[in-house]
Amino acid sequence: MRKKLQARSGATYRRKVYAVDLFCGVGGLTNGLQRAGIDVRLGVDIDPACEFPYTANNEAKFLLKSVEDLEAEEVRSFYRKNGIKLLAGCAPCQTFSMYNQKATDSDKRWWLLRQFSRLVEELSPDLVTMENVPRLIEQNVFKEFVESLEAVGYSVNYRIVNCADYGMPQQRNRLVLLASKLGPIELLSPSDFGEKPRTVREVIGSLPPLSAGESCEKDPLHQCSALSEINLRRIKASRPGGTWRDWPNELVADCHKKKSGKSYQSVYGRMSWEKSAPTMTTQFFGFGNGRFGHPEQDRAISLREGAIIQSFPPNYAFTPPGESVCQKVIGRLIGNAVPVKLGEVIGASVLAHVSRTPKRSSKAGRRSRPQ
C-alpha cells in the first residue's frame, strides 16, 4: 500500500515517524501503522491478555498499565530525538455504544479521553491520532478534546469513515481524528488507495470447513462456538443475508414474537458470501449475537474468520503455542480492535502529510469539519 501511495504522490518519507499507542489492545492499530512504515515503539494497555498478541506480532514493547497512571516521562524515552512523534490512542468505546443509552458525563471511561488529552499536553507530540465510535462526535467530551488540541497549536481534522470503502470486508463506521503541529492534515480518501470492496467469500472462503463447536487442528484460532439443538435447527433454517423472519414459527424466540421484539432483525442471521460482513463486535463468535452465522456452514463464524474480517493477517497469533484459546476473551479482543487496514490507512495518511510538510509550522490550529 505504501508503494502505491508513494507512486501516486511522489512522496519519499525522509523523516521517520515514531509512535506510542495508548489503549493498544492486541495491536490492530499498531500493526497497521507499522505496515504503513511508522515505527511504533510502545503499546500501553491495562489488560494482561493483550500482551502476548501485541508483542508476538509487532516490533514494539508492551507496558501493562492504566493510562490514568501513565507519566509523560515513561513515554518520552520511547521517542527518538530527531524523529517525528506520533501519539495514537483509542480510548475504550463501550461508553459511546449505540446500545448504552445510560452513559453520562460522569462515566469513568470518558475520563480516559481526558487522560489522553493530558498526555498530549505533557508530551506535545508532533502528531496525534484517535479512533473511536461515531457517536463520540456528539459528546461534549469530544468537543473539549478537539478544543484542547487546537488551543495548543494543532491543526485538527476528523471524519467518520466506513471501513468497507477502504477495501475492508466489513461494514464498520468509525470516527478517525488526525491532528498535527506541522500543518493541515487529512485522512487519505478511498480513491487514494484504489481498493475495491471485498466480500466475505474473498477473505474467508478458503478456510477449512468446521462443524459447530469444532476446532481446526492446524490453527486453534479457527474454532467456533457450539450450538444448542434449537440454534442448530435455527441456523439450518437461515438463508444468507436473511433474518429469523424466514424461520418456521416454532423456531422463533418468544421475545421476537412480542411486538417490542419484532424490530430486532439483526440477530440470528447468516452472512452473505458476496457482500461485506457486518461490524465485528466483541460477541461476533455467537450465532445469536448478530448476523454472525457462516454463509453456508451451520455454525457461527470462527475466531480466525472474525480476525481476518477485522483485516488481521491470517497468521496473527493471539495465544501462546499450546495454550488453550478462551473464546470469550480472544473474541472480545478481536472485536475491540481497530481493523489493521484502517491502521494502515491512518499510517499512510500520516506519512503522506509528513512528506508534504517538511518544515515545522507554528501557525495556530485549524479544524476541518467532518464530511
Ligand X SMILES: C[S@@+](CC[C@H](N)C(=O)[O-])C[C@H]1O[C@@H](n2cnc3c(N)ncnc32)[C@H](O)[C@@H]1O
Choose the stretch contacting ligand X; rule: CB under 6 A; options: 62-70, 198-206, 292-300, 359-367: 62-70
Q: How far is the CB of 265 from ligand X (least distance, A)?
A: 26
Question: What is the closest distance, in whole angstroms, from the C-beta atom of residue 27 to ligand X in the complex?
Answer: 6
The binder of ligand X chosen from 1, 5, 20, 26 (CB under 6 A): 26
Binding mask 128-167 for ligand X (x = CB under 6 A): ----------------------------------------
* Shorter beta-carbon distance to ligand X: residue 53 or 184: 53
Task: State the nearest-atom distance from the C-beta of 71 to ligand X, in Å.
Answer: 13
Is 335 a binding residue for ligand X by CB under 6 A? The answer is no
Catalytic annotation, residues: 93
Cβ atoms of residues 87 and 127 within 8 Å: yes
347 near ligand X, judged by CB under 6 A = no
Q: How far is the CB of 92 from ligand X (least distance, A)?
A: 4
Give the x/- contact pattern for ligand X in 27-46, rule: CB under 6 A: xxx--------------xxx
Interface with ligand X in residues 84-113 (CB under 6 A) = 90, 92-93, 112
Cell numbers 495508548 correspond to what residue?
22
Q: Which of 300, 316, 310, 295 is nearest to 343 (CA)?
A: 310
Among 71, 17, 84, residue whose Cα is nearest residue 44: 71
Q: Quick one: which segment of 200-208, 237-245, 247-255, 336-344 binds ligand X (CB under 6 A)? A: 336-344
Q: How far is residue 323's CA from residue 220's CA, in Å, rounded to a whole number? A: 9
Binds ligand X by CB under 6 A, chosen from 59, 68, 147, 274 = 68
Taken as a whole, the chain contains a residue count of 371
Q: Site residues (CB under 6 A) for ligand X?
A: 23-29, 44-47, 50, 66-68, 90, 92-93, 112, 336-338
